[in-house]
Amino acid sequence: MQELLRLLCSELAEGRPAAMATVVFQEGSAPRGAGSRLLAGPGGLLGGTTGGGLAEAKVIEACEKACETQEAVVLDIAMDGTLAAHSEMICGGQVRVLIEPFDPERKELEHITSLALQAAEGTGCRIVRPYPPSKRTSWTLLYEDGSSEGADLDPQSKAELNAAPLDEAALVPCHGTVFFCERCQPPERMIIVGGGHVSRPTAAIAGLTGFAVHVLDDRPEYANNGRFPNATVHVTPEYSQCFEPLRITPRDYIVIVTRGHLFDGVAAEQALKTSAGYIGMIGSMRKRKQIYAKLQESGFTEQDLERIHAPIGLDIGAETPEEIAVSILAECIAVRRHVPAPVTWRKK
């Protein structure tokens, strides 16, 4: 979302119209779920995707038209026949896409998208708008503290929409009106403890899959932007305090891949003291047994230790650093999407 908001703000600042296409509903065999989006202008795609193929071509065409008419519309696409064949999908799926045009002449839209971008890079917010849409794009930003920006909503509706259960995006009924609500928040962080040979491909793939990557190591020759050009690097004085400056939250993924059992154990102990949503530690079952025994001596319970994914990653027979990185990210994505690992892939 951040990148598309950044593109949208740039287009509006340059005086060019653009249209945001967002999947609001998906069922059956369809390529992307609710919340998937793209941005297109009069000249075609600017960024993002709603699934590719002929279906996405229809979405881009609708965006181009919306840039001309400046009218918001809903596009229904049935994934059958030719569309399914060209999208490599099984017949029978359906997606509904909300097309919202943004006119640079409407300064309130430039203002609200700028605020949404700030929220996406800060504490986050919810973007809500009536569904089906009126002809004109109308966003309201709802913040956790109860404040809001944009189109007017009554206080009770604001409170209910802000409290509605929401994973990524959903249609939410409220006082006789349906709203499309979606989260607008910073990307999840992957915090990689250790800057060795497994860390480099892990950081690279994590960045490609939408994580904001941080790498920690106590050696400056390993924790530097030369090795990790697309990550934030931290030279930590010692692993016993490595997470203190980062303010770990449940949206953080901690990947422990240091250079030895001792450092892994220290990092795991510190990780268990945080609210991280995922903790993974590299190593064999023998190593895990040794480290877990020491953690229990330190007062951690079996329930605490169940938070650690060890050995880290899905069991796909990975051997090289690159293969191990793929297995780590596969497990993290499964956690992100609330999908249990298939039985055949579970750790032995």
Mean pLDDT within 277-285 = 95
Nearest to 205 by CA among 332, 326, 315, 313: 326
Comparing 344 with 22, the larger pLDDT belongs to 22
Instruction: Lowest mean pLDDT of 28-32, 50-54, 260-264, 289-293, name the range.
Output: 28-32
Q: How many CB atoms lie within 10 A of CB 32?
A: 18
Q: What is the CATH number of domain 189-345?
A: 3.40.50.720
Comparing 326 with 94, the larger pLDDT belongs to 326
- What's the pLDDT band for 348 if we cut at 50, 70, 90? very low
In angstroms, the CA 11 to CA 128 distance is 22
Checking if the pLDDT of 30 tops 70, the result is: no
pLDDT exceeding 90 applies to what percent of the chain? 80
In angstroms, the CA 255 to CA 208 distance is 16
- What's the pLDDT band for 90 if we cut at 50, 70, 90? very low
- The pLDDT tens digits for 47-89 are 999 988 889 999 999 999 999 999 999 999 987 655 555 555 4
What is the structure's pLDDT at 32? 60
Q: Please answer whether residues 347 and 327 qualify as being in contact, where contact means their C-beta atoms are separated by less than 8 angstroms.
A: no
Q: Is the whole-model pTM more than 0.85?
A: no
Comparing 151 with 21, the larger pLDDT belongs to 21
Mean pLDDT within 314-339 = 95
Domain ranges of the chain: 12-102, 107-184, 189-345
The vertex-219 CA angle with 332 and 313, nearest 5°, equals: 15
Cα 243 from chain centroid (whole Å): 22
**SS3 annotation, 251-275:** CEEEEECCCCHHHHHHHHHHHHCCC
